[in-house]
Amino acid sequence: MGTANMERTVRNMYSVTEKGIWSGRVDSETVSDLFRLHQTIHIEDLSVFHEVQSTQAVGIIGFKCDEGVRRNKGRVGAYHAPDEVRRALSSIPGHLVSSGKLYDFGNVSCDDGNLEQAQAELGECVKKMIGFNIFPIIIGGGHEVAYGHFLGLKPYWKQGRQVGILNFDAHFDMRPYDETTSSGTMFKQIADELANEKLAFQYMCIGIQRYGNTKHLFDMAKQYGCEYILEDEMAQLGMERVMKQIHAFIQRNDAVMVTLCSDVIGAGYAPGVSAPQPFGMEPKVLRALLKETVKHKKIVSFDIAEINPKLDLDNRTVKLAAAFIVEVIDSFLEKESEDGDSSHGLFCP
């Protein structure tokens, strides 16, 4: 799709972030070492943005959507997450992401139940960011955000490059979609779509819950060649072996998109999700895995989903999501600083 067509399409569901959302404590208006993120963020309109980046750059975009969760008969409220997470990010010290440029490219919103169109428009936004050499960070919304994320990377499969999907999640999200797609069907959709075009599906899940998936879903994962590590196996395996398996998966691909469903985290730490997990992962474990993963040159994009402010306690899940995003940005910028190359993954010739 050409730029003009993309701009026409995105305006249907696309909106620029209101500047007032990025606000918070101001320790100084002149000393950069005292700045917080709301003082360093660049709010842009992606439909008219045309700057190819020659230095490190990260772009945030929100996917305001409850439709996938509603179709999946889950508890809605994740629609409100993108702006609430932005508010939580606002007062975080700016030095944590000071080595790169941070953009906010607004939101794609699903207000009329047309999930498929919203996912398509999100895909166009992700594709455009990647074309400008900007690392996309997508804030959902339900986990149906992952399908829109995939659509933004799909052109690279067609160019003969293998893109893997690394999912930190309590669920496989490979349910049948004969009647409708939802927040529980995305990865089966992706697998079938790639198979129809004779393209390979490489999918790995970390943190899968035995309680959260039927035998049918375990069988489906096996049928589609999904690699996975159960949450209750992780302590026995140890961080080193878990990370070794993740690295092996990354190495088998030309590039990898990372997606994080917040219900992979224990309910005590992340109560504001559609399907809380009593035996979910501890945030420090997930933090360590994410940091080590995103440092890899082949990681090209990230999304976080299923943060539900309506169900949250003391803004706990929202703040945790903001912290994970900062860790991802920091790790991404760190890997680029180490090798001195501002291109990454799919952007390399």
Question: Collapsing DSSP states into helix, strand and coil, what is residue 238?
Answer: coil
Q: State which residues of the chain have pLDDT below 50.
A: 1-11, 347-349
pLDDT of residue 166: 98
Quick one: 211 exposed, middle or buried, by C-beta within 10 A (0-12, 13-18, 19+)? Answer: exposed
Rounded (10°) angle between helices 316-339 and 81-90: 70
User: pTM score, two decimals?
Assistant: 0.94
Q: How would you label 197-209 residue by residue, b for 16+ Cβ within 10 Å and e otherwise?
A: eeeebbbbbbbbb
Q: Which residues contact 236 (CB under 8 A, 6 or more apart)?
A: none
pLDDT of residue 5: 47
Which option is the CATH number for 3-347: 3.40.800.10, 3.40.50.10800, 3.40.30.10, 3.60.40.10? 3.40.800.10
Cα distances from 116 to residues 23, 55, 148, 180, in angstroms, run 33, 34, 9, 10
Tell me the C-alpha distance between 320 and 259, whole Å: 15
pLDDT of residue 346: 56
